[in-house]
A and B are shown apart, each in its own frame.
Chain A
Amino acid sequence: MVDTLLLVLYALIGVVMAIAGIESFRAKDNPARIGTGLFWLIMAVIFAFGTLLPAMIVGVLVVVIGVLALFKQIQIGKIKPVDGVHAAQAAKRLGGWVFAPSVVLAVVSIGVAQFTKLGGQVGIGIGAAVSLIVAIIMTRASGKMVYSDTQRMVRSVGAAGILPQLLATLGAVFTAAGVGSLTAKLIAGLFPAGSHLGGVILYCVAMALFTIIMGNAFAAFAVITAAIGIPFVIAQGANPAIVAAIGMTSGYCGTLLTPMAANFNSLPVALLEMDDPLGVIKQQAPIAVLLLVIQIGLMYFLAF
Protein backbone atom coordinates (compact mmCIF):
# COMPACT_ATOMS: atom_id res chain seq x y z
CA MET A 1 0.00 0.00 0.00
CA VAL A 2 2.66 2.48 1.06
CA ASP A 3 4.89 1.42 -1.83
CA THR A 4 2.10 1.86 -4.38
CA LEU A 5 1.24 5.29 -3.00
CA LEU A 6 4.91 6.29 -3.17
CA LEU A 7 5.03 5.23 -6.83
CA VAL A 8 2.02 7.49 -7.47
CA LEU A 9 3.79 10.37 -5.73
CA TYR A 10 6.97 9.84 -7.74
CA ALA A 11 4.89 9.76 -10.92
CA LEU A 12 3.36 13.11 -9.89
CA ILE A 13 6.84 14.55 -9.40
CA GLY A 14 7.56 13.23 -12.89
CA VAL A 15 4.58 15.24 -14.20
CA VAL A 16 5.76 18.39 -12.43
CA MET A 17 9.25 17.96 -13.90
CA ALA A 18 7.88 17.23 -17.38
CA ILE A 19 6.01 20.56 -17.22
CA ALA A 20 9.30 22.29 -16.37
CA GLY A 21 10.93 20.43 -19.27
CA ILE A 22 8.32 21.51 -21.82
CA GLU A 23 8.47 25.14 -20.71
CA SER A 24 12.29 25.07 -20.70
CA PHE A 25 12.25 23.93 -24.34
CA ARG A 26 9.89 26.81 -25.12
CA ALA A 27 12.06 29.46 -23.44
CA LYS A 28 13.53 30.81 -26.68
CA ASP A 29 15.78 33.34 -24.92
CA ASN A 30 17.73 30.64 -23.05
CA PRO A 31 20.82 29.64 -25.10
CA ALA A 32 20.89 26.30 -23.25
CA ARG A 33 17.18 25.58 -23.66
CA ILE A 34 17.67 22.20 -25.36
CA GLY A 35 19.98 20.90 -22.62
CA THR A 36 17.82 22.33 -19.85
CA GLY A 37 14.63 20.86 -21.33
CA LEU A 38 16.37 17.52 -21.79
CA PHE A 39 17.55 17.61 -18.17
CA TRP A 40 14.01 18.03 -16.83
CA LEU A 41 12.59 15.39 -19.19
CA ILE A 42 15.26 12.88 -18.12
CA MET A 43 14.42 13.61 -14.49
CA ALA A 44 10.71 13.21 -15.29
CA VAL A 45 11.38 9.78 -16.84
CA ILE A 46 13.49 8.67 -13.85
CA PHE A 47 10.78 9.72 -11.40
CA ALA A 48 7.82 8.35 -13.33
CA PHE A 49 9.37 5.08 -14.56
CA GLY A 50 12.44 4.64 -12.32
CA THR A 51 11.22 1.36 -10.88
CA LEU A 52 10.36 -0.13 -14.28
CA LEU A 53 13.58 0.85 -16.05
CA PRO A 54 16.68 -1.35 -15.64
CA ALA A 55 18.99 0.32 -13.11
CA MET A 56 21.77 0.42 -15.70
CA ILE A 57 19.68 2.66 -17.99
CA VAL A 58 19.03 5.04 -15.08
CA GLY A 59 22.79 5.02 -14.44
CA VAL A 60 23.40 6.05 -18.05
CA LEU A 61 20.79 8.83 -17.71
CA VAL A 62 22.48 10.13 -14.56
CA VAL A 63 25.80 10.23 -16.41
CA VAL A 64 24.08 12.13 -19.25
CA ILE A 65 22.88 14.71 -16.71
CA GLY A 66 26.44 14.99 -15.40
CA VAL A 67 27.74 15.58 -18.94
CA LEU A 68 25.03 18.20 -19.65
CA ALA A 69 26.01 19.98 -16.44
CA LEU A 70 29.72 19.76 -17.26
CA PHE A 71 29.17 21.55 -20.57
CA LYS A 72 26.97 24.21 -18.93
CA GLN A 73 23.91 23.05 -20.83
CA ILE A 74 21.60 23.22 -17.79
CA GLN A 75 20.75 26.89 -17.25
CA ILE A 76 17.84 28.44 -15.42
CA GLY A 77 17.65 31.31 -17.91
CA LYS A 78 15.23 34.22 -17.56
CA ILE A 79 11.96 33.36 -15.87
CA LYS A 80 9.04 35.74 -15.75
CA PRO A 81 8.79 36.99 -12.16
CA VAL A 82 5.61 37.12 -10.09
CA ASP A 83 3.15 39.79 -11.29
CA GLY A 84 3.49 42.42 -8.54
CA VAL A 85 0.11 44.09 -9.14
CA HIS A 86 -1.77 40.81 -9.03
CA ALA A 87 0.15 39.75 -5.91
CA ALA A 88 -0.61 43.03 -4.13
CA GLN A 89 -4.34 42.77 -4.93
CA ALA A 90 -4.45 39.17 -3.73
CA ALA A 91 -2.53 40.15 -0.59
CA LYS A 92 -5.19 42.74 0.25
CA ARG A 93 -7.98 40.24 -0.28
CA LEU A 94 -6.40 37.25 1.52
CA GLY A 95 -4.44 38.92 4.33
CA GLY A 96 -3.02 36.43 6.83
CA TRP A 97 -4.97 33.60 5.16
CA VAL A 98 -2.24 33.49 2.52
CA PHE A 99 -0.22 31.44 5.04
CA ALA A 100 -3.01 28.88 5.49
CA PRO A 101 -1.87 26.44 2.76
CA SER A 102 1.62 26.27 4.31
CA VAL A 103 0.12 25.51 7.71
CA VAL A 104 -2.15 22.88 6.14
CA LEU A 105 0.89 21.29 4.49
CA ALA A 106 2.77 21.06 7.80
CA VAL A 107 -0.22 19.83 9.83
CA VAL A 108 -1.37 17.24 7.29
CA SER A 109 2.16 15.88 6.65
CA ILE A 110 2.87 15.48 10.35
CA GLY A 111 -0.65 14.19 11.07
CA VAL A 112 -0.41 11.45 8.45
CA ALA A 113 3.09 10.53 9.67
CA GLN A 114 2.06 10.32 13.32
CA PHE A 115 -1.47 8.94 13.25
CA THR A 116 -1.58 6.58 10.27
CA LYS A 117 0.58 3.69 9.14
CA LEU A 118 1.39 5.43 5.85
CA GLY A 119 4.63 6.99 7.07
CA GLY A 120 6.31 10.36 6.68
CA GLN A 121 6.98 10.25 2.96
CA VAL A 122 3.40 9.52 1.95
CA GLY A 123 2.44 12.17 4.51
CA ILE A 124 4.41 14.80 2.63
CA GLY A 125 2.70 13.78 -0.61
CA ILE A 126 -0.80 13.91 0.85
CA GLY A 127 0.03 17.18 2.60
CA ALA A 128 1.25 18.67 -0.66
CA ALA A 129 -1.91 17.59 -2.51
CA VAL A 130 -4.33 18.81 0.19
CA SER A 131 -2.52 22.12 0.62
CA LEU A 132 -2.53 22.71 -3.14
CA ILE A 133 -6.29 22.13 -3.25
CA VAL A 134 -6.76 24.54 -0.34
CA ALA A 135 -4.60 27.11 -2.12
CA ILE A 136 -6.56 26.74 -5.37
CA ILE A 137 -9.90 27.17 -3.59
CA MET A 138 -8.65 30.14 -1.60
CA THR A 139 -7.04 31.99 -4.49
CA ARG A 140 -9.67 30.86 -7.03
CA ALA A 141 -6.76 30.34 -9.40
CA SER A 142 -7.37 28.92 -12.86
CA GLY A 143 -5.71 25.76 -14.13
CA LYS A 144 -3.55 27.92 -16.36
CA MET A 145 -2.34 29.88 -13.35
CA VAL A 146 -1.46 26.70 -11.42
CA TYR A 147 0.44 25.43 -14.45
CA SER A 148 2.33 28.68 -14.89
CA ASP A 149 3.25 28.96 -11.19
CA THR A 150 4.37 25.32 -11.14
CA GLN A 151 6.69 25.70 -14.10
CA ARG A 152 8.04 28.98 -12.69
CA MET A 153 8.89 27.40 -9.32
CA VAL A 154 10.40 24.18 -10.66
CA ARG A 155 12.45 25.88 -13.36
CA SER A 156 13.82 28.47 -10.94
CA VAL A 157 14.97 25.70 -8.61
CA GLY A 158 17.05 24.37 -11.51
CA ALA A 159 19.73 21.70 -11.28
CA ALA A 160 20.44 22.77 -7.68
CA GLY A 161 17.13 21.08 -6.81
CA ILE A 162 18.47 17.61 -7.51
CA LEU A 163 21.79 18.19 -5.72
CA PRO A 164 20.49 16.73 -2.41
CA GLN A 165 19.37 13.55 -4.18
CA LEU A 166 22.69 13.29 -6.03
CA LEU A 167 24.60 13.70 -2.78
CA ALA A 168 22.52 10.99 -1.10
CA THR A 169 23.32 8.81 -4.14
CA LEU A 170 27.01 9.53 -3.66
CA GLY A 171 26.67 8.45 -0.03
CA ALA A 172 25.21 5.12 -1.19
CA VAL A 173 28.05 4.67 -3.71
CA PHE A 174 30.56 5.38 -0.91
CA THR A 175 28.92 2.65 1.16
CA ALA A 176 28.98 0.18 -1.74
CA ALA A 177 32.67 0.97 -2.33
CA GLY A 178 33.59 0.65 1.34
CA VAL A 179 34.85 4.23 1.64
CA GLY A 180 33.61 4.60 5.22
CA SER A 181 35.46 1.59 6.59
CA LEU A 182 38.64 2.65 4.81
CA THR A 183 38.63 6.26 6.12
CA ALA A 184 37.74 4.90 9.55
CA LYS A 185 40.86 2.71 9.41
CA LEU A 186 42.96 5.69 8.29
CA ILE A 187 41.66 8.10 10.91
CA ALA A 188 41.81 5.47 13.66
CA GLY A 189 45.59 5.51 13.19
CA LEU A 190 45.67 9.22 14.08
CA PHE A 191 42.80 9.34 16.47
CA PRO A 192 41.95 6.63 18.97
CA ALA A 193 38.39 5.31 18.60
CA GLY A 194 36.40 4.21 21.61
CA SER A 195 35.80 7.52 23.38
CA HIS A 196 32.22 8.79 23.14
CA LEU A 197 33.15 12.44 23.61
CA GLY A 198 36.20 12.14 21.35
CA GLY A 199 34.08 10.70 18.54
CA VAL A 200 31.44 13.40 18.90
CA ILE A 201 34.04 16.19 18.85
CA LEU A 202 35.76 14.66 15.83
CA TYR A 203 32.49 14.33 13.88
CA CYS A 204 31.05 17.78 14.68
CA VAL A 205 34.33 19.62 14.09
CA ALA A 206 34.95 17.70 10.86
CA MET A 207 31.42 18.60 9.65
CA ALA A 208 32.11 22.28 10.30
CA LEU A 209 35.63 22.21 8.80
CA PHE A 210 34.65 20.37 5.62
CA THR A 211 31.69 22.71 5.19
CA ILE A 212 34.07 25.67 5.51
CA ILE A 213 36.28 24.18 2.78
CA MET A 214 33.46 23.03 0.49
CA GLY A 215 30.95 25.78 1.22
CA ASN A 216 28.11 23.25 1.30
CA ALA A 217 26.95 21.39 4.41
CA PHE A 218 24.88 18.89 2.37
CA ALA A 219 27.99 17.74 0.48
CA ALA A 220 30.02 17.56 3.69
CA PHE A 221 27.25 15.52 5.33
CA ALA A 222 27.31 12.69 2.78
CA VAL A 223 31.11 12.40 3.00
CA ILE A 224 31.79 12.98 6.70
CA THR A 225 28.88 10.93 8.03
CA ALA A 226 30.10 7.90 6.06
CA ALA A 227 33.74 8.50 6.99
CA ILE A 228 33.47 9.64 10.62
CA GLY A 229 29.88 9.84 11.90
CA ILE A 230 29.08 6.15 11.51
CA PRO A 231 32.41 4.51 12.53
CA PHE A 232 33.32 6.93 15.35
CA VAL A 233 29.97 7.88 16.85
CA ILE A 234 27.04 5.69 15.76
CA ALA A 235 29.08 2.46 15.93
CA GLN A 236 29.56 3.20 19.64
CA GLY A 237 25.82 2.90 20.16
CA ALA A 238 24.67 6.50 19.65
CA ASN A 239 21.14 7.25 18.40
CA PRO A 240 21.51 7.68 14.60
CA ALA A 241 18.71 10.26 14.21
CA ILE A 242 20.18 12.57 16.87
CA VAL A 243 23.74 12.18 15.58
CA ALA A 244 22.72 12.86 11.97
CA ALA A 245 20.47 15.84 12.76
CA ILE A 246 23.01 17.57 15.01
CA GLY A 247 25.81 16.61 12.64
CA MET A 248 24.06 18.53 9.86
CA THR A 249 23.48 21.64 11.98
CA SER A 250 27.14 21.48 13.10
CA GLY A 251 27.92 21.72 9.41
CA TYR A 252 25.74 24.86 9.24
CA CYS A 253 28.13 26.46 11.76
CA GLY A 254 30.77 25.99 9.06
CA THR A 255 28.44 27.63 6.51
CA LEU A 256 28.27 30.72 8.73
CA LEU A 257 32.07 31.00 8.70
CA THR A 258 32.97 30.55 5.05
CA PRO A 259 33.16 32.93 2.08
CA MET A 260 32.63 29.72 0.03
CA ALA A 261 28.93 29.87 0.92
CA ALA A 262 28.48 32.84 -1.38
CA ASN A 263 24.66 32.75 -1.38
CA PHE A 264 24.49 33.43 2.32
CA ASN A 265 27.64 35.41 3.11
CA SER A 266 28.66 37.27 -0.04
CA LEU A 267 25.29 37.93 -1.65
CA PRO A 268 24.15 40.14 1.27
CA VAL A 269 27.42 42.13 1.06
CA ALA A 270 26.62 43.00 -2.55
CA LEU A 271 22.90 43.37 -1.97
CA LEU A 272 23.31 45.71 1.01
CA GLU A 273 26.26 47.60 -0.53
CA MET A 274 28.55 46.92 2.40
CA ASP A 275 32.19 48.03 2.53
CA ASP A 276 33.61 45.02 4.34
CA PRO A 277 33.42 41.85 2.19
CA LEU A 278 33.71 39.70 5.34
CA GLY A 279 31.29 41.85 7.37
CA VAL A 280 28.51 39.27 7.56
CA ILE A 281 30.90 36.46 8.51
CA LYS A 282 32.43 38.62 11.27
CA GLN A 283 28.98 39.13 12.80
CA GLN A 284 28.27 35.40 12.55
CA ALA A 285 31.60 34.06 13.82
CA PRO A 286 31.04 34.29 17.61
CA ILE A 287 27.62 32.62 17.35
CA ALA A 288 28.89 29.94 14.95
CA VAL A 289 31.70 28.90 17.31
CA LEU A 290 29.45 29.02 20.37
CA LEU A 291 26.73 26.95 18.68
CA LEU A 292 29.30 24.38 17.55
CA VAL A 293 30.49 23.91 21.14
CA ILE A 294 26.88 23.72 22.40
CA GLN A 295 26.01 21.14 19.73
CA ILE A 296 28.96 18.95 20.69
CA GLY A 297 27.55 18.94 24.21
CA LEU A 298 24.01 18.28 22.95
CA MET A 299 25.07 15.34 20.81
CA TYR A 300 27.15 13.85 23.60
CA PHE A 301 24.37 14.07 26.18
CA LEU A 302 21.33 13.32 23.97
CA ALA A 303 22.65 10.61 21.64
CA PHE A 304 24.16 8.26 24.21
Chain B
Amino acid sequence: MEYLKLLGIVIIVVGFALKWDTTAVVVLAAIVTAVFSGMSIPDLLTTLGQSFVDNRMVSLFFLTLPMIGLVESHGLKEVAVNGIQKLKKLTPSRILNLYLLIRELGGVFGISLSGQVQFVRPLITPMVTAAAESKRKLTDKEIDLIKARSAATDNFGNFFAQNLFVATAGVLLIASTMKGLKHPVEPMQVVLASIPVAIITLVVVAIYNRWFDRQFENATGSSKGGKR
Protein backbone atom coordinates (compact mmCIF):
# COMPACT_ATOMS: atom_id res chain seq x y z
CA MET B 1 0.00 0.00 0.00
CA GLU B 2 1.99 2.89 -1.35
CA TYR B 3 -0.63 5.42 -0.26
CA LEU B 4 -0.12 4.64 3.43
CA LYS B 5 2.89 6.95 3.50
CA LEU B 6 0.49 9.85 2.97
CA LEU B 7 -0.68 9.15 6.52
CA GLY B 8 2.04 11.57 7.66
CA ILE B 9 0.19 14.42 5.93
CA VAL B 10 -3.08 13.33 7.55
CA ILE B 11 -1.42 13.32 10.98
CA ILE B 12 -0.05 16.83 10.49
CA VAL B 13 -3.37 18.22 9.31
CA VAL B 14 -5.49 16.51 11.96
CA GLY B 15 -2.96 17.07 14.76
CA PHE B 16 -2.69 20.81 14.13
CA ALA B 17 -6.45 21.16 13.62
CA LEU B 18 -7.16 19.40 16.92
CA LYS B 19 -4.46 21.42 18.73
CA TRP B 20 -2.35 18.46 19.79
CA ASP B 21 1.17 19.31 20.94
CA THR B 22 2.81 20.61 17.75
CA THR B 23 6.31 19.26 18.46
CA ALA B 24 5.01 15.75 19.13
CA VAL B 25 2.75 15.85 16.04
CA VAL B 26 5.58 16.79 13.67
CA VAL B 27 7.95 14.12 15.05
CA LEU B 28 5.18 11.52 14.84
CA ALA B 29 4.32 12.49 11.26
CA ALA B 30 7.97 12.12 10.25
CA ILE B 31 8.21 8.67 11.87
CA VAL B 32 4.96 7.42 10.32
CA THR B 33 5.92 8.68 6.86
CA ALA B 34 9.31 6.96 7.08
CA VAL B 35 7.89 3.67 8.37
CA PHE B 36 5.25 3.40 5.64
CA SER B 37 7.75 4.25 2.93
CA GLY B 38 9.51 1.02 3.90
CA MET B 39 12.43 2.32 5.98
CA SER B 40 13.85 0.13 8.77
CA ILE B 41 14.05 1.62 12.28
CA PRO B 42 17.81 2.40 12.07
CA ASP B 43 17.30 3.93 8.60
CA LEU B 44 14.42 5.99 9.91
CA LEU B 45 16.45 7.32 12.85
CA THR B 46 19.40 8.10 10.58
CA THR B 47 17.19 9.96 8.07
CA LEU B 48 15.46 11.88 10.85
CA GLY B 49 18.74 12.80 12.56
CA GLN B 50 20.55 13.72 9.36
CA SER B 51 17.64 15.90 8.15
CA PHE B 52 17.43 17.65 11.53
CA VAL B 53 21.16 18.43 11.54
CA ASP B 54 21.03 19.53 7.89
CA ASN B 55 18.26 21.99 8.74
CA ARG B 56 20.04 23.68 11.64
CA MET B 57 20.22 26.89 9.62
CA VAL B 58 16.48 27.44 10.25
CA SER B 59 17.29 28.08 13.90
CA LEU B 60 20.02 30.65 13.21
CA PHE B 61 17.64 33.31 14.51
CA PHE B 62 18.46 32.07 18.04
CA LEU B 63 21.76 33.96 17.67
CA THR B 64 19.90 37.26 17.49
CA LEU B 65 18.03 36.66 20.77
CA PRO B 66 20.74 37.92 23.19
CA MET B 67 20.83 41.31 21.44
CA ILE B 68 17.04 41.54 21.25
CA GLY B 69 16.76 40.63 24.93
CA LEU B 70 19.24 43.33 25.84
CA VAL B 71 17.52 46.15 23.93
CA GLU B 72 14.14 44.98 25.27
CA SER B 73 15.30 45.30 28.84
CA HIS B 74 16.71 48.74 27.95
CA GLY B 75 13.49 50.32 26.82
CA LEU B 76 12.82 49.21 23.22
CA LYS B 77 9.08 49.10 23.88
CA GLU B 78 9.07 52.31 25.93
CA VAL B 79 10.80 54.33 23.19
CA ALA B 80 8.40 52.97 20.56
CA VAL B 81 5.39 53.82 22.75
CA ASN B 82 6.66 57.39 23.28
CA GLY B 83 7.07 57.80 19.55
CA ILE B 84 3.59 56.55 18.70
CA GLN B 85 1.98 58.72 21.38
CA LYS B 86 3.18 61.76 19.47
CA LEU B 87 0.66 60.85 16.75
CA LYS B 88 -2.27 62.28 18.75
CA LYS B 89 -4.88 64.45 17.01
CA LEU B 90 -4.98 62.47 13.79
CA THR B 91 -7.94 60.80 12.08
CA PRO B 92 -8.49 57.09 12.88
CA SER B 93 -7.11 55.97 9.52
CA ARG B 94 -3.98 58.13 9.83
CA ILE B 95 -3.13 56.52 13.16
CA LEU B 96 -3.81 53.03 11.82
CA ASN B 97 -1.81 53.62 8.64
CA LEU B 98 1.17 55.13 10.45
CA TYR B 99 1.16 52.15 12.79
CA LEU B 100 1.02 49.85 9.73
CA LEU B 101 4.01 51.64 8.23
CA ILE B 102 5.95 51.42 11.51
CA ARG B 103 5.12 47.71 11.77
CA GLU B 104 6.35 47.07 8.21
CA LEU B 105 9.54 49.08 8.74
CA GLY B 106 10.10 47.06 11.91
CA GLY B 107 9.79 43.96 9.73
CA VAL B 108 12.60 45.19 7.48
CA PHE B 109 14.92 45.40 10.48
CA GLY B 110 13.72 42.21 12.10
CA ILE B 111 12.10 44.04 15.03
CA SER B 112 9.04 41.95 15.81
CA LEU B 113 7.48 42.95 19.08
CA SER B 114 4.30 41.18 20.06
CA GLY B 115 2.14 43.95 18.66
CA GLN B 116 -1.27 42.94 19.98
CA VAL B 117 -0.10 42.88 23.59
CA GLN B 118 2.41 45.70 23.57
CA PHE B 119 0.83 48.22 21.20
CA VAL B 120 -2.70 47.47 20.03
CA ARG B 121 -4.27 47.04 23.45
CA PRO B 122 -2.54 49.79 25.46
CA LEU B 123 -1.98 52.32 22.69
CA ILE B 124 -3.49 51.97 19.22
CA THR B 125 -7.07 51.06 20.16
CA PRO B 126 -7.45 53.90 22.73
CA MET B 127 -5.92 56.43 20.30
CA VAL B 128 -8.12 55.38 17.36
CA THR B 129 -11.21 55.39 19.60
CA ALA B 130 -10.38 58.87 20.87
CA ALA B 131 -9.83 60.13 17.32
CA ALA B 132 -13.18 58.74 16.16
CA GLU B 133 -14.96 60.04 19.24
CA SER B 134 -13.80 63.59 18.62
CA LYS B 135 -16.68 63.90 16.10
CA ARG B 136 -19.48 62.26 18.07
CA LYS B 137 -20.36 59.60 20.64
CA LEU B 138 -19.70 56.05 19.45
CA THR B 139 -21.96 53.04 19.90
CA ASP B 140 -20.63 49.89 21.57
CA LYS B 141 -20.75 48.15 18.21
CA GLU B 142 -18.57 50.84 16.64
CA ILE B 143 -16.05 50.60 19.45
CA ASP B 144 -15.91 46.85 18.83
CA LEU B 145 -15.25 47.52 15.15
CA ILE B 146 -12.38 49.84 16.03
CA LYS B 147 -10.83 47.22 18.27
CA ALA B 148 -11.13 44.60 15.53
CA ARG B 149 -9.70 46.90 12.86
CA SER B 150 -6.73 47.85 15.08
CA ALA B 151 -5.93 44.18 15.74
CA ALA B 152 -6.33 43.39 12.04
CA THR B 153 -3.96 46.21 11.03
CA ASP B 154 -1.31 44.82 13.37
CA ASN B 155 -1.66 41.37 11.77
CA PHE B 156 -1.44 42.79 8.22
CA GLY B 157 1.77 44.66 8.97
CA ASN B 158 3.26 41.80 10.93
CA PHE B 159 2.52 39.02 8.42
CA PHE B 160 3.32 40.60 5.09
CA ALA B 161 6.50 42.43 6.10
CA GLN B 162 8.17 39.85 8.35
CA ASN B 163 9.84 38.07 5.42
CA LEU B 164 11.69 41.27 4.52
CA PHE B 165 14.42 40.37 7.01
CA VAL B 166 16.91 37.56 6.28
CA ALA B 167 17.13 36.11 9.77
CA THR B 168 13.43 35.51 10.46
CA ALA B 169 12.21 31.98 11.02
CA GLY B 170 9.91 32.20 7.98
CA VAL B 171 12.67 33.09 5.51
CA LEU B 172 15.06 30.52 6.96
CA LEU B 173 12.33 27.86 6.90
CA ILE B 174 11.63 28.58 3.22
CA ALA B 175 15.33 28.43 2.29
CA SER B 176 15.99 25.26 4.25
CA THR B 177 12.83 23.44 3.10
CA MET B 178 13.59 24.29 -0.53
CA LYS B 179 17.10 22.89 -0.09
CA GLY B 180 15.58 19.67 1.28
CA LEU B 181 13.20 19.57 -1.68
CA LYS B 182 16.18 19.82 -4.07
CA HIS B 183 15.41 23.32 -5.33
CA PRO B 184 17.85 25.40 -3.24
CA VAL B 185 17.24 29.15 -2.83
CA GLU B 186 19.22 31.76 -0.89
CA PRO B 187 17.52 33.55 2.05
CA MET B 188 18.28 36.88 0.33
CA GLN B 189 16.36 35.79 -2.79
CA VAL B 190 13.35 35.01 -0.62
CA VAL B 191 13.57 38.49 0.91
CA LEU B 192 13.67 40.14 -2.52
CA ALA B 193 10.71 38.06 -3.71
CA SER B 194 8.73 39.17 -0.64
CA ILE B 195 9.06 42.92 -1.35
CA PRO B 196 6.15 43.29 -3.84
CA VAL B 197 3.64 41.71 -1.47
CA ALA B 198 4.78 43.93 1.41
CA ILE B 199 4.35 47.10 -0.67
CA ILE B 200 0.98 46.02 -2.08
CA THR B 201 -0.25 45.23 1.44
CA LEU B 202 0.78 48.68 2.61
CA VAL B 203 -1.17 50.37 -0.21
CA VAL B 204 -4.25 48.14 -0.10
CA VAL B 205 -4.63 48.28 3.68
CA ALA B 206 -4.05 52.04 3.71
CA ILE B 207 -6.98 52.50 1.30
CA TYR B 208 -9.09 50.05 3.30
CA ASN B 209 -8.42 52.07 6.46
CA ARG B 210 -9.26 55.35 4.73
CA TRP B 211 -12.69 53.90 4.00
CA PHE B 212 -13.01 53.13 7.66
CA ASP B 213 -12.98 56.87 8.48
CA ARG B 214 -16.23 57.42 6.58
CA GLN B 215 -18.18 55.47 9.18
CA PHE B 216 -17.37 58.12 11.75
CA GLU B 217 -17.67 61.28 9.65
CA ASN B 218 -21.42 61.00 9.41
CA ALA B 219 -22.82 62.87 12.37
CA THR B 220 -26.15 61.05 12.71
CA GLY B 221 -24.73 57.70 13.78
CA SER B 222 -24.41 54.36 12.10
CA SER B 223 -24.00 54.81 8.34
CA LYS B 224 -24.92 51.20 7.65
CA GLY B 225 -28.51 51.48 8.84
CA GLY B 226 -29.25 54.35 6.46
CA LYS B 227 -31.22 52.36 3.91
CA ARG B 228 -34.57 52.45 5.66
Contact = CB atoms under 8 A, between A and B. Distances in A.
A234 B155 contact: no
A173 B34 contact: yes
Interface residues of A, number: 153
Contacts of B12: 170, 214, 219, 223
B5 A177 contact: yes
A287 B208 contact: yes
A106 B154 CA distance: 22
Nearest to B151: A268
B172 to A, nearest CB: 7
B27 A62 contact: yes
A182 interface: yes
Interface stretch (B44-52, B85-93, B130-138, B215-223): B44-52
Interface of B: 2-3, 5-6, 8-9, 12-13, 16-17, 21-24, 26-31, 33-34, 36-37, 39, 42, 44-79, 82-83, 108-111, 116-117, 120-121, 125, 140, 144-145, 147-152, 154-156, 158-160, 163, 165-167, 169-170, 172-178, 180-190, 192-194, 196-197, 200-201, 204-205, 208
Contacts of B57: 6, 121
Interface string A212-252: 01111011011101110010001000011110111011001
A149 B53 contact: no
Contact of B63 (A125, A267, A290): A125
Interface string A138-165: 1101000110011011100101111111
B129 to A, nearest CB: 11
Nearest to B141: A275
A65 B64 contact: no
A137 to B, nearest CB: 11
Interface string A249-281: 100100110001000110111011111100110
Contacts of B28: 66
A260 B50 contact: no
Contacts of A12: 63
6 closest residue pairs by CB, A with B = A91-B75, A66-B27, A59-B45, A58-B49, A59-B49, A149-B69
A102 interface: yes
A115 B182 CA distance: 26
A59 B44 contact: yes
Nearest to B83: A96
Given A124-B64, A141-B74, A268-B116, A74 B5 contact: no
A272 B121 CA distance: 6
B27 A69 contact: yes
B177 A95 contact: no
B5 A110 contact: no
Given A110-B188, A141-B74, 13 more contacts: A55-B47, A66-B28, A69-B21, A69-B24, A99-B109, A121-B187, A132-B67, A172-B180, A179-B37, A183-B9, A210-B13, A245-B193, A248-B174
